[in-house]
């Protein structure tokens, strides 16, 4: 397929944005939060503030590494608008497997991954490059496949399954629904002072 | 009927057009083969026929694509999805990634189209039956072999009940077992009167299922006719296309100056 | 010159799957060997033992009679060049030339020697004119030829190719055949994994078939594709090439290639 892909440009944009300040502090924070990563609103705030600091212009191309569930990816997408693009990359079993193959292929061409730290640093580009490029191509292919199956159709989708529902659950939902007007009434009558 | 009318297409940023004034007809119930060297324009033609070019892929174009005489230019991609289905060479990237079972994967398309639930179920089961993969329904698509994943991808597009099915080198990444699986499935589909456009390097496969074959060279149609004629055309090798094994053998025999008796023996053994 | 030996090599994946089952195989320097078998039969696992990417869970791998267990992959890359099936798993440079340079550079080539090796490799695959092109501006088939060139340029005594003709058009296949011919002409050993039986029959002197981690066939193309071997082939979902089938139908003996079949026909009449 045709168009030129300049991964160097994407890397550059991202390098401008991925500011690793105090490495130890960052590592400690991530490790401490690891178990509850995406449950924390902290990450959404962190993502939003990061994108704010980047001052992304509409039309920019952004690469979000270790994007998780999109704490920075989604604000970035809003910032760059329809003329820009954002690629979020994170670990999936398929990506891990792909990275392992890439590592093997580069080692087979003499890349030393068992030597000194300096030798191993020389491996960053040969190892990261194909991962990123491969992700870009894969995203393009996946997008085409999704669109060819009507993924972009506006409007409701048909659901095949309904989540299992039981009588007690339905009762609980009704009770919650009724509780709202009850609480409003109680509050206006001053009965439940602690509700302030 | 799917028609390309003098279609020229250039990808964004490309130096030259990938398709140049291509005119092509895929009639209802026909199986049309598409052959050509790498970068001759086979993939581009498949993308144009399915509507992905220019909608998803971008690029500039001239000419029209018509579905039963209707110009498809104003139609959006999701509107075309139900009328022309497309499958690609890479099995894994075609899976939606959101389905836990093959059943849900095949149902993905109809679910997107918003048709009634009973209709979704009917279409899914029809598609699974058409490719004889009902036994795979409860399996995790990510755990299947390449050939099986391709069948799931094809079933997924059949569930959209498209009038035309486009396949871009569906066996390119498969081992012989997978290739045989997909070839058998396509032959079965062809037998039901489906309208299929299949691009392939494997001319033996095209010989087995296609009625007509078109050959592309540098974005232009250079051969268009009956499969038996086109695949026996001596120009194929110069156009970068490997002739079917039997054609190659027969041509080599001619070049060798074998006795008529020997040639007759050979012809007798090559007959199906 | 490097003789390769697998001596009772077994490999069990951490998940428990036994991919190679006590395989013993010897490849002499300069041989042209094709490895065939369905996906999962152990072909890729086997070739990864040749350059140390995988280490046997039992058994030994020997180069010229010496165990390679204590040599690193980087060291073994000087002896065995392995071209992977998917070129996009290794391409990372912005130019074709840069990409081909990577391997020889890792082996210590510089300056004039590097330029010569790269120019020669590019010429062999027909990419001399694209030396400055971005690899992703080439189609998938030419990228695959680029990956082949980038390993061939390393000049290793052994060249291992994983599915070199998959996805290639006629010209691509011809280029691959020429690269293999020149390599063996220069005394290099060539081992290729392939499921194109015509290509295998026409290009290689020896065919080794694997099934479930065991060698089930090992011989010339004539013997590997002769009627006696068809059951073994079919058990690993492979079909003999057309000339072999026709030759058998006409009672002409083992004729794995067009040339062999036609020669037998001419002799018979």
Q: Write down the domain spans for chain C.
A: 4-79+156-268, 80-155
CATH 3.30.413.10 correct for C4-79+156-268: no
Do the chains contact at B242 and C170, CB–CB below 8 Å? yes
The SS3 call for residue B69 is: coil
Determine the distance in angstroms separating the CA of A31 from the nearest CA of chain C, rounded to an integer.
27
**What is the DSSP pairing of strand C158-162 with strand C80-83?**
parallel
Q: What pLDDT was estimated at residue A7? A: 27
Determine the distance in angstroms separating the CA of B262 from the nearest CA of chain C, rounded to an integer.
6
**What is the DSSP pairing of strand B2-10 with strand B60-67?**
antiparallel
Size of interface A-B (CB pairs under 8 A): 97
Q: Taking 60 as the threshold, does the pLDDT of residue A18 lie above it?
A: no
C67, C51, C54: which is closest to C161 by C-alpha? C51
- Top pLDDT among A97 and C115 is at C115
Planar angle of CA C205, C211, C213, nearest 5 degrees:
100
Burial of B224 (0-12, 13-18, 19+ CB in 10 A): middle
Q: Taking 80 as the threshold, does the pLDDT of residue A196 lie above it?
A: no
CB A55 within 8 A of CB A62: no
Question: Which whole number is the average pLDDT over B66-81?
Answer: 91
CB B254 within 8 A of CB B75: no
Q: Taking 60 as the threshold, does the pLDDT of residue B126 lie above it?
A: yes
- Top pLDDT among C248 and A6 is at C248
Q: What is the mean pLDDT of chain B?
A: 92
Q: Taking 90 as the threshold, does the pLDDT of residue A190 lie above it?
A: no
Which segment of A75-84, A185-194, B100-109, C214-223 scores lowest on mean pLDDT?
Answer: A185-194
Assess whether the previous peptide bond of B191 is cis (omega < 30° from 0). Answer: no
Q: Which of A2-6, A134-138, B203-207 has the highest mean pLDDT?
A: B203-207
Beta bridge partners of B7: B22
Question: Which whole number is the average pLDDT over A79-105?
Answer: 80
To the nearest whole percent, how much of chain C has pLDDT over 70? 99
Tell me the torsion sign for CA atoms A110, B92, C172, A5: negative
Planar angle of CA B165, B166, B169, nearest 5 degrees:
135
The SS3 call for residue B173 is: coil
ipTM of the complex: 0.88
Q: Taking 60 as the threshold, does the pLDDT of residue A12 lie above it?
A: no
Do the chains contact at A138 and B93, CB–CB below 8 Å? yes
Q: What pLDDT was estimated at residue A19? A: 34
CB B79 within 8 A of CB B100: no
Q: What pLDDT was estimated at residue A163? A: 64
Residues of chain B positioned with their CB less than 8 A from the CB of A142: 93, 97
Determine the distance in angstroms separating the CA of C252 from the nearest CA of chain A, rounded to an integer.
44
Model's pTM, two decimal places? 0.83
- Structure confidence by residue, pLDDT tens digits, B238-253: 999 999 999 999 999 8
- Structure confidence by residue, pLDDT tens digits, A121-174: 888 888 888 888 888 888 888 889 988 998 888 888 888 776 667 788 888 888
Q: How far apart are CA B211 and CA B226, in angstroms?
A: 6
Q: What pLDDT was estimated at residue A16? A: 39
Do the chains contact at B266 and C246, CB–CB below 8 Å? yes
CB B169 within 8 A of CB B201: yes
Q: Taking 90 as the threshold, does the pLDDT of residue B88 lie above it?
A: yes
Do the chains contact at A149 and B96, CB–CB below 8 Å? yes
Q: Taking 60 as the threshold, does the pLDDT of residue A35 lie above it?
A: no
E strand intervals along chain B: 2-10, 19-26, 31-36, 60-67, 70-71, 84-87, 164-168, 196-199, 212-217, 220-226
**Nearest residue on chain B to A93, judged by CA atoms?**
B142
Residues of chain A positioned with their CB less than 8 A from the CB of B58: 3
Q: What is the mean pLDDT of chain A?
A: 73
Domains of chain B: 2-232 (3.40.50.300), 242-272 (no CATH)
């Amino acid at each position: 397929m045709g168009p030129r892909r300049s991964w160097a440009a994407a890397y550059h944009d991202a390098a401008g944005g991925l500011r690793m300040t105090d490495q130890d502090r960052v590592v400690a924070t991530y490790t401490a939060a690891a178990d509850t990563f995406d449950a924390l609103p902290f990450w959404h705030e962190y993502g939003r503030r990061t994108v704010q600091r980047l001052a992304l212009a509409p039309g920019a191309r952004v690469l979000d590494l270790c994007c998780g569930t999109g704490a920075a990816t989604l604000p970035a997408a809003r910032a760059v608008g329809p003329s820009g693009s954002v690629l979020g990359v994170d670990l999936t079993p398929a990506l891990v497997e792909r990275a392992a193959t890439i590592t093997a292929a580069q080692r087979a061409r003499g890349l030393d991954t068992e030597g000194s730290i300096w030798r191993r640093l020389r491996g960053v580009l040969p190892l990261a490059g194909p991962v990123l490029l491969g992700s870009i191509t894969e995203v393009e292919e996946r997008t085409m496949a999704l669109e060819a199956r009507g993924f972009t159709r506006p409007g409701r989708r048909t659901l095949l399954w309904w989540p299992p529902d039981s009588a007690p659950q339905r009762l609980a939902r009704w009770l919650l629904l009724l509780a709202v007007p009850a609480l409003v009434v109680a509050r206006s009558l001053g009965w439940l002072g602690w509700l302030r | 009927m799917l028609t390309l009318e003098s279609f020229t297409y250039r990808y964004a940023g490309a130096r030259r057009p990938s398709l140049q004034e291509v005119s092509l007809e895929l009639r209802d119930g026909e199986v049309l083969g598409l052959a050509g060297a790498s970068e001759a324009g086979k993939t581009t033609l498949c993308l144009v026929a399915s509507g992905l070019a220019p909608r998803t892929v971008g690029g500039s174009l001239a000419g029209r694509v018509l579905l039963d005489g209707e110009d498809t230019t104003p139609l959006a991609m999701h509107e075309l999805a139900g009328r022309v289905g497309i499958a690609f060479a890479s099995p894994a990237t075609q899976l939606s990634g959101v389905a836990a079972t093959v059943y849900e994967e095949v149902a993905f398309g109809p679910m997107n189209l918003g048709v009634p639930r009973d209709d979704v179920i009917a279409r899914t089961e029809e598609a699974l039956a058409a490719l004889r993969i009902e036994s795979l329904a409860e399996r995790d698509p990510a755990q299947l072999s390449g050939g099986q994943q391709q069948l799931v991808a094809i079933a997924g597009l059949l569930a959209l009940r498209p009038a035309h099915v486009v396949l871009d080198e569906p066996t390119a990444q498969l081992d012989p077992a997978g290739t045989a699986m997909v070839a058998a499935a396509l032959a079965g589909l062809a037998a039901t009167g489906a309208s299929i456009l299949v691009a392939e390097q494997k001319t033996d496969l095209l010989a087995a299922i296609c009625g007509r074959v078109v050959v592309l060279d540098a974005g232009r149609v250079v051969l268009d006719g009956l499969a038996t004629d086109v695949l026996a055309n001596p120009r194929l090798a110069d156009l970068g296309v490997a002739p079917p094994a039997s054609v190659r053998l027969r041509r080599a025999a001619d070049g060798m100056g074998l006795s008529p008796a020997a040639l007759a023996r050979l012809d007798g053994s090559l007959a199906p | 010159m490097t003789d390769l030996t697998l001596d009772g090599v077994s490999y069990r994946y951490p998940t428990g799957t036994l991919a190679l089952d006590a395989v013993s195989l010897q490849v002499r320097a300069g041989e042209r060997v094709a490895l065939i078998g369905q996906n999962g039969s152990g072909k890729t696992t086997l070739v990864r033992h040749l350059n140390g990417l995988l280490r046997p869970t039992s058994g030994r791998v020997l180069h010229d009679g010496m165990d390679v267990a204590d040599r690193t992959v980087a060291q073994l890359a000087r002896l065995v060049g392995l071209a992977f099936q998917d070129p996009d798993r290794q391409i990372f440079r912005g130019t074709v030339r840069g990409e081909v340079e990577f391997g020889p550079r890792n082996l210590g080539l510089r300056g004039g020697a590097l330029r010569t090796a790269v120019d020669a490799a590019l010429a062999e695959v027909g990419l001399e004119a694209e030396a400055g092109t971005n690899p992703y501006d080439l189609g998938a088939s030419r990228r695959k030829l680029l990956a082949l060139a980038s390993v061939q340029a390393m000049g290793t005594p052994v060249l291992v190719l994983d599915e070199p003709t998959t996805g290639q058009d006629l010209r691509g296949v011809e280029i691959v055949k020429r690269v293999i011919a020149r390599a063996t002409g220069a005394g290099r050993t060539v081992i290729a994994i392939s499921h194109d039986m015509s290509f295998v029959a026409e290009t290689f002197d020896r065919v080794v078939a694997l099934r479930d981690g065991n060698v089930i066939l090992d011989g010339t193309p004539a013997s590997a594709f002769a009627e006696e071997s068809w059951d073994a082939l079919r058990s690993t979902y492979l079909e003999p090439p057309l000339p072999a089938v026709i030759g058998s139908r006409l009672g002409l003996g083992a004729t794995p290639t067009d040339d062999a079949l036609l020669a037998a026909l001419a002799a018979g009449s």
